[in-house]
Chains A and B, each alone.
Chain A
Amino acid sequence: MKLNLKIWRQQDAKSKGKMTDYSLGGVEGDMSFLEMLDILNEQLINKGEEPVVFDHDCREGICGSCSLMINGEPHGPDRMVTTCQLHMRKFNDGDTIVIEPFRAKAFPVIKDLMVDRTSFDRIQQSGGYISVNTSGNTVDANAIPINKHAADEAMDAATCIGCGACVAACKNASAMLFTSAKVSQFALLPQGQVEATERVQNMVRQMDLEGFGNCTNTGACEIECPKGISLENIARLNREYYSANLKG
């Protein structure tokens, strides 16, 4: 099939970017979206132009590197997939596809479609861990039984890949789903409860400092999350936060 691509090109963080039009033929349905961009880049390189820069790595939907706002939706029109898992058979011959970087004040553009998501790392660094030394001298793994339901729920929250689709989709560019996933994972496990108070306070403070927007419960994040992280986690984050602050 033949496609019309409108792609955001921006030389570096300081430059002004703009949308650029490309026409690309020979696209097959079996290609992933990123493989389609590979072909475009190969053509650009052969013409001596700079290829389009975008983040990608594992190409199997788990590393969270790939991003892209495709026709107004993070990771494109398909559900429960990342851009690398989106296949071109979801598009038709002659389609126009608008490709932009994830947009948020806390995700500045590095180049073209690549953005800086280290704000997510800083949220994690502010408290997304359990303070236990890695000496291995802890209690036996089976010393504390954990309710299977709680363990499964913790796992569901922990599957977040940190791609930032939640922020990109949210009309407020809020990072609540991301932050709540980590807070929830630990809140649901006995090991995480010791530091629960400080963790939630520190992570929310960092989230605010990074300049993410406020959650207005539109639910867009949950729909666009490639891992199906549930809004329940945001409710849990809210609960954890209030009780942490009321405690002192």
Chain B
Amino acid sequence: MSALIKSSLARKVVMALSGLFLVFFLGQHFVINVTSVFAPDTFNTWSHFMGYNPLVQYILQPILIAGVIVHFVMGFVLELQNRAARGVKYVSYKGSANASWISRNMIITGLVVLAFIGLHMYDFWAHEMSYKYIDVKPEDPTRYFEETVHKFEPFWRTIIYIISFVLLALHLLHGFASSFQTMGVNNKYSAAIKLFTKVYAIGIPAGFIFIALYHHFNQIPH
């Protein structure tokens, strides 16, 4: 067991598992958000639940944050190790001949997504924290929809979100399928799994983009 923790394969599996967890979270996040488009009341109810349920707040939320940190830190460690493994750099290296840009640049797409998460946390999570714990305002199960829609009022924020989602899609296009390979999944379902990961990797970010655009163009008065 201890060998497992020290080995390169263990580091890979940590990346894969934390990645899969984040992918799952992303799906759940999307399901809640998409209700904001056609059922604002449901959106409010679910958002309130997520914001005040102790299980979500004190157990799931820390796990999620830990997941992001682990995925990021491990990704960075791997990147450094991998760069060191080359030693002397090639004068001419034609990476595009044998591997996609996406798969070779996970660190770039990953860093953009990480920056986006920072903005996103500032936008929503920081706001929630100050609402709940600093200003200690009363619970209001109906405020979420309106707050969300107003966030997308500025054009710049909508654009940043869209760009980030595109990069997230790129990150997922390689990462999601890759995590199955890392977990050793390679059987008659592999083709189907690969297709599913592609649909998911494009579909979910596209859905988020749709939500952002929808609210940007369907503002409600303050």
Contact = CB atoms under 8 A, between A and B. Distances in A.
Interface of A: 6, 8, 19, 69, 71-73, 77, 98, 100, 103-106, 108-109, 169, 171-174, 201, 204-205, 207-208, 211-220, 223-224, 231-232, 234-242, 245, 248
B91 interface: yes
B136 interface: no
Interface of B: 1, 3-4, 6-9, 11-13, 78, 81-82, 84-95, 97-100, 103-104, 106, 174, 178, 181-186
Contacts of A213: 81-82, 84-86
B98 A216 contact: no
Contact of A105 (B8, B85, B94, B103): B85
A71 B92 contact: yes
A105 B98 CA distance: 21
Contact of B186 (A19, A171, A174, A232): A232
Given A73-B97, A105-B84, A212-B85, A238 B78 contact: no
B178 A216 contact: yes
A72 B92 contact: yes
B91 A98 contact: yes
A217 B184 CA distance: 12
A238 B85 contact: no
Nearest to A242: B184
B94 A73 contact: yes
A208 B8 contact: yes
B12 A214 contact: yes
Residue of A8, A100, A216, A218 contacting most chain B CB atoms (<10 Å) = A216
Contact of B106 (A216, A231, A232, A241): A216
9 shortest A-B CB distances, which residue pairs? A72-B94, A239-B184, A213-B85, A235-B186, A172-B82, A238-B184, A223-B98, A218-B99, A105-B87
Contacts of A77: 97
A245 B4 contact: yes
A200 to B, nearest CB: 9
A223 B181 contact: no
A13 to B, nearest CB: 12
Contacts of A100: 90-92
23 contacts: A6-B91, A72-B92, A72-B95, A73-B94, A105-B84, A105-B85, A204-B9, A213-B86, A214-B85, A216-B12, A216-B82, A218-B98, A218-B174, A219-B99, A220-B98, A223-B98, A231-B181, A234-B181, A238-B181, A238-B183, A241-B184, A242-B184, A245-B1
B90 A171 contact: no
A98 B186 CA distance: 37
A173 B100 CA distance: 16
Nearest to B97: A73
Nearest to B78: A214
A217 B174 contact: yes
Contact of B100 (A205, A207, A212, A218): A218
A205 B88 CA distance: 24
B92 A238 contact: no
